[in-house]
Structure 1
Amino acid sequence: MKKYICFQLMLLVAVFLLIFSCNNDDESGPRFPEGSTESVNLWVLDSMKRYYYWAEQIPAKPDYHLPVKDFFKSLLSSQDRFSFAVDTQDPSSYPRSVRNMYGFDYAVIQLPNGNVVTTVKLVMKNSPAFNSGLQRGMMITKINGKAITASNAEALTSSIKDQTVIDLTVGNWKNGAVADEKNIKVYYGYSFEQPLESKIFEKNGKKTGYLYIYDFPDGMTPALNQKFAEFKAAGVQELILDLRYNYGGSVSSAAALCSLIPPGITSSSPFIVYKGNKNGGEVKRTFAQQITYDPHALDFNTLRANSLGLNKVYILTSNSTASASEIVINNLKPYLQVVQVGDVTLGKDMAGFMVEDKRKPKKISWQLHPLIYKVFNANGEGAYSNGIAPEIAASEYGTLPLLPLGDSEEALISSALNSIYSKSAGKNALYQSVKILFQSDTPSAAIGK
């Protein structure tokens, strides 16, 4: 009898321990020493389960012993091209690109005659590249002494990210060849905030405003408001937005821009719909509501005072047009005609916010940048993960050298102006024979996530 009772007690203890063990893992997860890699990874997992759009796809038994960055990547959906994590105490963990390190971008293209050349397409103002004398339209023949080819362009770009100074051999495009070659050094460094650039074109009494927007930082509404006030005072009747290199940024700044263009919208007009996981649900915001998420923004009514009230807008795009700039394209469509000129956009139809340790003092130095919401316009239209295709297909590489942004003869601007003034797409048909082999700001080369 004693043996039987002891056996029952042992069995009850075993069952109790089993239940306790299961509850501990299910409700609060495994326990790790504070400060350990495993404890950081547990925080990463808990955060991702709460916020991540594809939370239901997270592996049931991730490997907590992986380095934090590898652990984070192990949680990502195969559909996710953009989520990333950084350690604020380790600069090497941040995404690196030619643009954010040196302030320029380039494209390797194959001409109709078969020749392969590399052209500088973007030089940021007051960047290391700008200060070294690099200009849009220049041709690069060598990087660190190596001639650029279709086969080594990606490897050369990757190697640039591990250096703090690069040697470029550059020249000018003259009579179908590179001339006046010289060597320049570009040092790794900081690029200052990029200004808005505007022009007004006029033909046959019709004025067209042109606005180049590099990105969408918070706090840009006063600058946008000023530009549109100038357009309105000048009597602008058509508008070209140049978002070809705009990776995105603040959705609030994008909403502010959108509020300055169409007629008839009010503070209660719907602007955007966010759809998240079961925790995030669905969130709808009007123009006015979205703008106020930028604490430094001008309010909706102040911006509307300078609205152009247009029924059509032309937007210049490329494969580098992403995120908030794609929201501008998609979310204006319920309110006016959007004529997109250029190439298919990148296809980031999602939004997110930074997730970090809010404790004081902070115990975890990692920041997570996961995709949290799919985004849709007021008509429920979205799902453009393959990019948004243009109405007028055009390439900026069909005629060399590349002209400055803002030049009326520049390829994409010219295509838009031809449509505005002569109702034709202009030069776009000429460009199909130019093949883009590699760009330094492709997702793999530039975003680094």
Structure 2
Amino acid sequence: MRNFFNIQILAVLFLSVLMISCNRTDDEIPDFPEGSTEAVNVWVQDSIRRYYYWADQMPAKPDYHLPTKDFFKSLLAPQDRFSFIVNTADSSSYPRSVRNMYGFDYTVLQLANGEVVTVIKLVLKNSPAMNAGLERGMVIKKINGVAITASNAEELTAAIPDQTVIQLTVGNWENGSIINEKNITVYYGYSLDQPLMSKIFEQNNKKTAYLYIYDFPDGMTSALNQKFAEFKTEGVQELILDLRYNYGGSVSSSAALCSLIPAGISANSPFIIYKGNKNGGEVKRTFSQQISYDSNALDFSVLHANSLGLNKVYVITSKSTASASEIVINNLKPYLQVIQVGDATLGKDMAGFVVEDRRKPKKITWQMHPVIYKVFNASGEGNYTNGIAPQIQVNEYSALPLRTLGDPDEVLLSSVLHQIYSKSIYNGTQPQDVKVLYQSDSPYIGFSN
């Protein structure tokens, strides 16, 4: 199972998480028997109180008799969409989604004529979905024999993570109808790490690089460095980053990407500001410092040698663009022009690290993933909880079937290439009455890094 909260920020500053509950001084809390649910909940409360961004909003007298997962939720601030807890001894406690179980995602649309169409928007490489024959652009008619409608899409999706095999009736979209219908069986399984995907387009003696980045795992700096070395050798003058389905991941990896793009930065240029509660305070990190939090990362100097030295970058986004990928957008803005195309991002202007029992032997198997910091760029700009809005809003689903990512005629990429080569705002066909009714990843985006 993929890591769910692989932010890994500044954890070195907080190694004192070992036995927080043993240092508790609140005499109003009873001494519950060790190993009881209540004792675990006291540990949860003490731990989260120390690190949680909204610690000052935690209830003074929670109900210690609640099951631990429910107890954790009772401590969270109303505005917190992202903190969660898992039991490492119980795999069923981890967030499950169509994407992390089967390797694909889909969107339910309502067309201009009122017809409801479910399109596959993403199929991961080397995933169960890909191995079963699913492709981006296919249309799903039925899930487990039930036709998808506007009213049952959410219910059908919610049931998928409780299964280990799903039956799909799929087809291809052609001239407003579904053809080549067939039944496909997809089994639950692991999806391998996703490779970077790139292309170089050339027109009027101008070369534009396109780079699709699925996520930001630690250890990706070598792959990024290699891609940008290729771009530099080819004389690339424009860059398009496709982050439309990027849930985020390691901030160190996002910093590495950012070091490869703008002109005029150095190892000591400020990259990010973390603002925590009264215990966490405010921490500033340069490009070099943030990159180095990944012990396997290349040095800033090695990466920056392949920088394209650009004064602007184009970024393709959607509601599935979150966390570290939003940091790329926001934290590049002090150094170059960021032209965002597509839809507004999710709005996860927060970061954190794992809080768990580090005693040896471990006595508590619960693992918390709380919001610990709000994040800001070098200019102190942040607070994008409602998402980062694009300058050029384009509906990815305005033309069906969906084309392969990287296809120059794919709606979002086409709109950026039009902007670059015609030097005018894209105003292609945008049927405003194509409505997104539901997306299979909507309930899970916040629990994926």
- Shorter-chain TM-score category? over 0.9
Q: Does the C-alpha gap of structure 1 residues 66 and 344 become closer, same or farther in structure 2, counting only changes over 3 Å?
A: same
The one-letter code sitting in structure 1 at the alignment partner of 2:372 is I
The one-letter code sitting in structure 2 at the alignment partner of 1:34 is E
The one-letter code sitting in structure 1 at the alignment partner of 2:137 is G
* Displacement after TM superposition at 1:429 (Å): 5.6
Residue 17 of structure 1 corresponds to none
3-state secondary structure, aligned to 2:53 = coil
Higher relative contact order (CA 8 A, sep 6+): 2
Residue 123 of structure 2 corresponds to 123
What is the CA–CA distance in structure 2 between the aligned matches of 1:80 and 1:267, rounded to whole Å?
34
Q: Does the C-alpha gap of structure 1 residues 24 and 170 become closer, same or farther in structure 2, counting only changes over 3 Å?
A: closer
3-state secondary structure, aligned to 2:26 = helix
Conserved 8 A contact 1:24-1:30: no
Residue 89 of structure 1 corresponds to 89
What is the CA–CA distance in structure 2 between the aligned matches of 1:157 and 1:396, rounded to whole Å?
21
1:198 to 2:198 alignment: yes
1:383 to 2:389 alignment: no
1:251 to 2:251 alignment: yes
The one-letter code sitting in structure 2 at the alignment partner of 1:32 is F
Conserved 8 A contact 1:395-1:428: no
Q: Does the C-alpha gap of structure 1 residues 71 and 210 become closer, same or farther in structure 2, counting only changes over 3 Å?
A: same
TM norm structure 1: 0.93
* Displacement after TM superposition at 1:434 (Å): 1.2
Residue 295 of structure 2 corresponds to 295
Conserved 8 A contact 1:393-1:428: no
Per-residue Cα deviation, 1:371-404 (whole angstroms, up to 9, x for no partner):
0000000000000000000011001101110000
3-state secondary structure, aligned to 2:184 = strand
TM norm structure 2: 0.93
Max Rg structure: 1
Which one has a larger percent helix, Structure 1 or Structure 2?
Answer: 1
1:364 to 2:367 alignment: no
3-state secondary structure, aligned to 1:339 = strand
State the identity as a percent.
74
Residue 311 of structure 1 corresponds to 311
Residue 64 of structure 1 corresponds to 64
What is the CA–CA distance in structure 2 between the aligned matches of 1:300 and 1:173, rounded to whole Å?
46
* Displacement after TM superposition at 1:224 (Å): 0.2
Q: Does the C-alpha gap of structure 1 residues 274 and 429 become closer, same or farther in structure 2, counting only changes over 3 Å?
A: farther
* Displacement after TM superposition at 1:29 (Å): 4.0
Q: Does the C-alpha gap of structure 1 residues 25 and 272 become closer, same or farther in structure 2, counting only changes over 3 Å?
A: closer
What is the CA–CA distance in structure 2 between the aligned matches of 1:392 and 1:432, rounded to whole Å?
15
Residue 353 of structure 1 corresponds to 353
User: Can you give the 5+ residue segments of structure 2 that lack an aligned partner in the other structure?
Assistant: 1-22
Per-residue Cα deviation, 1:154-206 (whole angstroms, up to 9, x for no partner):
00000111100000000000111011100000000100000000000000100
- Superposition pairs for residues 330-345 of structure 1, below 5 Å? 330-345=330-345
What is the CA–CA distance in structure 2 between the aligned matches of 1:137 and 1:227, rounded to whole Å?
27
Per-residue Cα deviation, 1:56-102 (whole angstroms, up to 9, x for no partner):
00000011111110000000010000100000010110001000000
Tell me how large the CA RMSD over aligned residues is: 1.4
* Displacement after TM superposition at 1:431 (Å): 3.9
What is the CA–CA distance in structure 2 between the aligned matches of 1:421 and 1:61, rounded to whole Å?
61
* Displacement after TM superposition at 1:26 (Å): 2.1
Q: Does the C-alpha gap of structure 1 residues 374 and 24 become closer, same or farther in structure 2, counting only changes over 3 Å?
A: closer
Conserved 8 A contact 1:171-1:180: yes
* Displacement after TM superposition at 1:288 (Å): 0.3
* Displacement after TM superposition at 1:424 (Å): 2.2
The one-letter code sitting in structure 2 at the alignment partner of 1:374 is K
Conserved 8 A contact 2:355-2:369: yes
What is the CA–CA distance in structure 1 between the aligned matches of 2:148 and 2:88, rounded to whole Å?
34
Conserved 8 A contact 2:99-2:441: yes
Conserved 8 A contact 1:96-1:448: no
User: Can you give the 5+ residue segments of structure 1 that lack an aligned partner in the other structure?
Assistant: 1-22
What is the CA–CA distance in structure 1 between the aligned matches of 2:24 and 2:234, rounded to whole Å?
68
Conserved 8 A contact 1:84-1:368: yes
The one-letter code sitting in structure 1 at the alignment partner of 2:397 is Y
Residue 49 of structure 2 corresponds to 49
* Displacement after TM superposition at 1:448 (Å): 6.0
